[in-house]
Amino acid sequence: MFERRIPEWLRHAPAPSVRGFATMAGFEAITRGMLISVFPVAMYQALQDAARISFIYFIIGILSLITGLLIPFLARYVPRRWLYSFGALGFVTGCTCAMIGTPETLVLALLLNSMATVTTFVCFNAYVLDYIARIELGKCETLRMVYSAAGWTVGPVLGVSLWTWWPPAPFLVSAFSAAIMLVVFLYLRLGNGKLITRAKAPPPNPIAFLGRFFQQPRLVAGWLFAVIRSCGWWAYVVYLPIFAVENGFGEQLGGVLLSITNAALFLSPVMLRFIQASSIRYSVRIGFLACAVLFTFAGVGEIAPWPAIAALFVASFFLILLDICGGLPFLMAVKPSERTEMSAIYSSFRDVSGIATPGIAWLVLLVAPISGIFAATGVACLLAWGLAGQLHPRLGASRLKPLDADPDPMANLAKTAES
């Protein structure tokens, strides 16, 4: 007599949207932001050797890179939804290991955290490229950063404060946030993404698509921008706290500065306006040029520690600008039939920078103080500034309009962001 109806939200999965992806990114920001300033000071307290810490980060970076490159291969046998779920659970497992508190479990926690980051990042970008239109990528990146602002702003200083009060506390909060992130992912029911028929059979091994990547200069340039930008964050996030501790500024300074920096994520819409008013190429170039000057100046840190810290703090705002626009040259050049493979390539920038930065830092520390790492980062940013000069001036503009129809190459993206 009584008809039983299945709830609408169970019969039909919610349509994937920019806001849904931003929500997932927001909980990821809490998960990672809570620990981003804890790991460097905890590692330094356990090992008391910056060069040894750099070597550990170097090895973990290699393992994370291998993990990221294997994701497309694993995706042929393991559904993408399971890969993302395993990545989220990797955060929980890593935090559990860190709560044990020994140097060995702390290193293992850092490894699991890094592998979880690259796994979820590959899957997340593949989902974005599946469900978000090309012209809305700029809006998606901006909203993602706005939703992530709270986690990246409060997380670093709160994480270090909780760690000084009770070491397991920040890891417990991070694990809880990762669990909620997984629940949101399951609620959105993204599945395995959209199925796109290929003109040719998939490559026989996970490394085969590297050839297609190197044949596309725009992808290579966009990937290099991401690598160098990430190296700048590595220098700021990992080595600034160690630099502060070595110069007697305390363990919490790095977390406090990073939290203030991340508060600028709330200014992402304003930065997007700047990009729209100029161009992607100009924004990328001005970001890298400012970072080159400020990081190079911070190379005198042993002589003037406070000015060096101030310069790094200002440079971090330009790194946020690059977070908004630096990935667009790559994302806008990806072919639909190569989304999963190129997402794996793009995500490798984290691991390549995670290999290059501590590897170069390890060599720099053999002959120079820790401030030499900042100078080396400035040189890399200067190289990226030169490379960005090769970007097309109308990158990001609609292809439906002729060259002279719209002098503003970001007009269509502006209209999309306003809607």
Concatenating the DSSP letter of every residue in 284-311 gives: HHHHHHHHHHHHHHGGGTTT-HHHHHHH
Check whether 82 has a pLDDT greater than 60. Answer: yes
Secondary structure letter of residue 199 according to DSSP? S
pTM of the model: 0.70
**Overall average pLDDT of the 298-309 stretch:** 86
Q: What is the pLDDT of residues 9-29, one digit of tens each?
A: 444 455 567 778 888 889 999
* Digit-coded pLDDT (tens) for 101-130: 788 899 999 999 999 998 998 888 788 877
Task: Give me the pLDDT at residue 220, please.
Answer: 85
Residue 228, amino acid: I
Query: What pLDDT, on the 0 to 100 scale, is given for residue 142?
Result: 73
Most confident of 16-30, 204-218, 285-299: 285-299
pLDDT confidence tier of residue 380, bands split at 50, 70 and 90: very high
| Cα separation, 419 vs 417, whole angstroms | 6
What CATH number has the domain spanning 14-196+208-418? 1.20.1250.20
Q: pLDDT class for 416, splitting at 50, 70, 90?
A: very low
| Residue 197, pLDDT above cutoff 60 | no
pLDDT grade, residue 135 (50/70/90)? low
Name the more confident of 345 and 414: 345
49 dihedral zone (left: phi>0; alpha: psi -120 to 50; beta): beta
Q: Which amino acid is at 140?
A: C
